[in-house]
Amino acid sequence: MNAESTHMHEENYLKYQGKFKGLLGWIFSTDHKRIGLLYLYSIAAFFILGAILGLMMKLELIAPGKTIMEAQTYNGIFTLHGITMIFLIVIPGIPAVFGNFLLPIMIGAKDVAFPKLNLASWWVYIFGAIVAVSSQFMGDGPPDTGWTFYAPYSFKTNTNMLPAVLGAFILGFSSVLTGLNFIVTIHRMRAPGMKWLKMPLFPWALYATAWVQLLATPIVAITLLLVVLERTLQIGFFDPALGGDPVLYQHLFWIYSHPAVYIMILPAMGVISEILPTFSQKPIFGYKAVVFSTMLIAFIGYFVWGHHMFTSGLSEVSLVAFSFLTFLVAIPSAIKVFNWVATLYQGSIVLKTPLIWAASFLVVFMIGGLTGLVLGSLATNVHVHDTAFVVAHFHYIIFGGVGFAFFAAIHYWFPKIFGRMYDAKTANTGWGIFFIGFNTLYFPMFYLGIKGMPRRYFDYLPEFHGANILSTFGAIILIIGLTIIISNLIKSARNGEPAEANPWNGVTLEWKVSSPPSLENFEEIPTITKKPYDFTS
């Protein structure tokens, strides 16, 4: 990209003093970079909560029978783990943190289209999060339905369902507002000369994601509202006793929640598409194919929800149709993977921490993706439905996909965001331990699932003991790795070596501005003449 190099005279965004000082200067800032960091800190806090809950579940499962908690506590914990991880971390995740921080810079804009709305999204997010988490501590005990709030149990259980459901409802608004903001920003605020097909792939991924956020989220919002009305006003929607249909709930829930998987994974794929060219020092292979597959995933993703309901009694025709569509969505995902691998081929590979994360993303994402075919296929699905196999697949995709990409992203853009370098050796050690822990934790669950261990039970048959010990052991390793990674980042953000503007020799616009960027990113808006990922200069 032939952007004019802009030399910053302004103060960087971290030091800038606006109307408010200190904490207020952050929580009332409309600067997209500060909002990105607000999300980062809140998400990190919730992630630690979610990870601790996950560890507690694994500790409970270290031996058959009651180990450290009662069955009901376990039900409450896996529900809160799910709600926290999905609604508070993975769904907002990459778009809220890196999208907010980098989207305007990568397309050559000074901020997002609606900065105040952007700040409002964060506040709505915090409000929703407080409501959702409060369900654990108030009323009649933590909800125990799992993160899917399946009817009719979700309005029969005496636990504290309403705050959890309302919390998810409120969080939906945050998602919609962010999506809206990004769509307008991308349409309206690209730098002169940045045609659609000159836009980098991370903004493309955010664009596709934003449409999914905008269109799919209202459906789950309305559905959750109906659950609230059913519980409070006794209007029958999903409860057969009131003339409702519980299967309908599943339809409405998954019409949103499957596209939501793409809200999670598309930005992750965008991150990988940024990192691989930089660390291979060559353009991404098949730029247009990657763009096309991004949009295709977002589109087909709307039509596959039925594969979550293969055992719910759908008609045969629907089952076959949903299974077929599910296989169809694997095609654009595979296009991406092939393009990524082809990008690495014959590249001048620089094996730095972000690339290590991105490469291991490919490995775990492939395992997750291929086991997804087992679940997408009708006949095999019936056997492993609701077993530990599903949990393993899900975590390989969501934690392995989104989680690894998130860590890849933070290690890639860390110098830009904080203006400091992290300790690469510690970061790599952390990655190694994390990677081993991750696979030791989740891989045995494929085996357990195939052998028939159901998910969401605090207890299991003695024959499953061995693999469960291994899995819990993996969880402990994973937490150790996580601690190393996070503490290294916190330490480096404070005391790391000052970073150059372009430590990785990247070519997208964010590497043309100083680290950390100035308040308005660019002194002068750059004019784009070249394609993205053009390393010939």
Binding site for another protein (CB under 8 A): 113, 183-184, 187-189, 192, 211, 214-215, 218-219, 222, 226, 229, 233, 235-238, 240, 242-245, 248, 252, 313, 525
List the structure tokens of 485: 């990674």
Rounded distance between C-alpha atoms, residue 422 and residue 428, angstroms: 11
CA dihedral over 224, 324, 394, 277, signed as positive or negative:
negative
Least spacing, CB of residue 85 vs another protein, in Å:
27
CB of 518 to another protein, least distance (A): 17
| Residue 108 neighbours by CB distance under 10 Å | 25
Which of 521, 89, 128, 502 shows the shortest CA–CA distance to 267? 89
Residue 515 gets which letter from DSSP?
S
**Cβ density class 41-76: b for 16+ within 10 Å, e for less:** ebbbebbebbbebbbbbbebbbbeeeeebeeebbbb
Q: How far is the CB of 219 from another protein (least distance, A)?
A: 8
The residue with tokens 């999670």 is: 264
- For another protein, the closer of residues 58 and 190 by Cβ is 190
In this structure, which amino acid lies at residue 126? Answer: I
Residue whose token pair is 């990459």 = 94
Q: Give least dist CB 110 to another protein, A.
A: 9
Choose between 38 and 170: whose C-beta lies nearer to another protein.
Answer: 170
Complex with another protein: residue 222 or 341, whichever CB lies closer:
222
**Would you tell me how many other CB atoms lie within 10 Å of the CB of residue 169?**
22
Could you tell me the smallest distance in angstroms from the CB atom of residue 262 to another protein?
A: 16
Kindly tell me which of 180 and 363 has the beta carbon lying closer to another protein.
180
- Cβ proximity to another protein: between 105 and 402 the closer is 105
Backbone angles phi, psi at 129, to 5 degrees: -65, -45
- Tell me whether residue 303 or residue 535 sits nearer to another protein (CB atom): 303
498 beta partners: 420
Q: Which is nearer to another protein, 310 or 458 (CB)?
A: 310
- Rounded Cα–Cα distance for residues 299 and 375 (Å): 21
Nearest distance from residue 521's CB to another protein, in Å?
13
CB of 245 to another protein, least distance (A): 4
